[in-house]
Amino acid sequence: MKSVLITGAAGFLGSHLCDRFIAEGFRVIGMDNLITGNLKNLEHLFSHKNFEFYHHDVSKFVHVSGELDYILHFASPASPIDYLKIPIQTLKVGAMGTHNLLGLAKAKNARILVASTSEVYGDPQVHPQTEAYWGHVNPVGPRGVYDEAKRYMEAITMAYHTFHGLETRIIRIFNTYGPRMRLNDGRVLPAFIGQALRGEDLTVFGDGSQTRSFCYVDDLVEGIYRLLMSDYASPVNIGNPNEITIADFAEEIIKLTGTSQKVIYKPLPTDDPMQRQPDITKAREILGWEPKVDRAEGLKITYDYFKSLPEEDLYRKDHNNFEEYIKR
């Protein structure tokens, strides 16, 4: 039986990856420090004979006993609310955490896939964004802690590949959505749905002309799996190229939820990217991958998930104790 370590396992993407690899017949080791993850995302796996969980911060030395075939590094805060509250920890998990896991991969002779992001492109001057574009990033701006952590992650991963001959894969993830997102994590889709469910007006930052491209989580997981099993070591964009303005997206959410709220506008945050659209030519050609779930279908599934949550979740500002974590 092949074994895989998945960091960030209790998070949105990590938990779906655990499900996929269990379904594929792997022994799955989940690891998470639970600062942004939630064990509820994994509780259905706790009784499974091929799943085990470690409560651990990968910024510290990582040890896993026995053989290990694959590592998927998905541990990181992933929304502006998170990485603005814990900026140093965000940098550490991208830098020290990645270094620790690359060392583990080398020791175990395991293949490692690291989760990079479209944020490495910053506020892009090239549209759509191809993997050949080097980006337009402000390293000392408020978003720099996340953007530069991921850019460093890519650099050290490629260094281990070229210097040590380690089998590495780099995925650049564009906006993804689906069940198990945190309702109040600050990202646009859960923010809009949460506001609609609470009867609040939907908040658009800027004039709403900025664009995003939303990929349903099942499609993303399929792309991740195919990339891991491929022989391609350079970065690959995985996302849905179907682009939409935030203003139009707000109207879609209002229509989906059947609410009567209006859209209100607030100033655009510093360094917020104006365009996000992946060029997925590489994914199509190398992996034979492209998204299958259209936005209307994916949004309906996601909305039904959020509606099923306990009412107190709608009003919870933050279910993570950042202050306690920072003291550690």
Mean of all residue pLDDT scores within the chain:
93
What radius of gyration do the chain's Cα atoms show? 19
pLDDT at 317: 67
DSSP-assigned letters across all residues of 227-279: HHTSS--S-EEES---EEEHHHHHHHHHHHHT--PPEEEEPPPTT--S---B-
Backbone angles phi, psi at 129, to 5 degrees: -90, 125
Q: Is the pLDDT of residue 10 over 80?
A: yes
State pTM to two decimals: 0.94
222-253 pLDDT tens trace: 999 999 999 999 999 999 999 999 999 999 99
Q: Is the pLDDT of residue 322 over 60?
A: no
pLDDT at 232: 98
Q: Is the pLDDT of residue 286 over 60?
A: yes
Q: Is the pLDDT of residue 110 over 80?
A: yes
What pairs with residue 173 in β-bridges? Answer: 117, 238
Catalytic residue among 146, 177, 216, 225: 146
Does the CA dihedral 127-129-130-134 come out positive or negative? positive
Q: Is the pLDDT of residue 319 over 60?
A: no
Cis peptide before 269 (omega within 30 of 0): no
Q: Is the pLDDT of residue 320 over 60?
A: no
pLDDT at 270: 79
146 has catalytic annotation: yes
Where residue 314 falls among pLDDT bands split at 50, 70, 90? confident
pLDDT at 72: 99
Map out the domains of the chain as residue ranges: 3-180+216-240+278-292+319-327
pLDDT at 325: 46
CA distance linking residue 131 with residue 234, whole number of Å? 9
pLDDT at 216: 98
195-216 pLDDT tens trace: 999 999 999 999 999 999 999 9
Q: Is the pLDDT of residue 151 over 60?
A: yes
Hey, what CATH class is 3-180+216-240+278-292+319-327 in? Answer: alpha beta
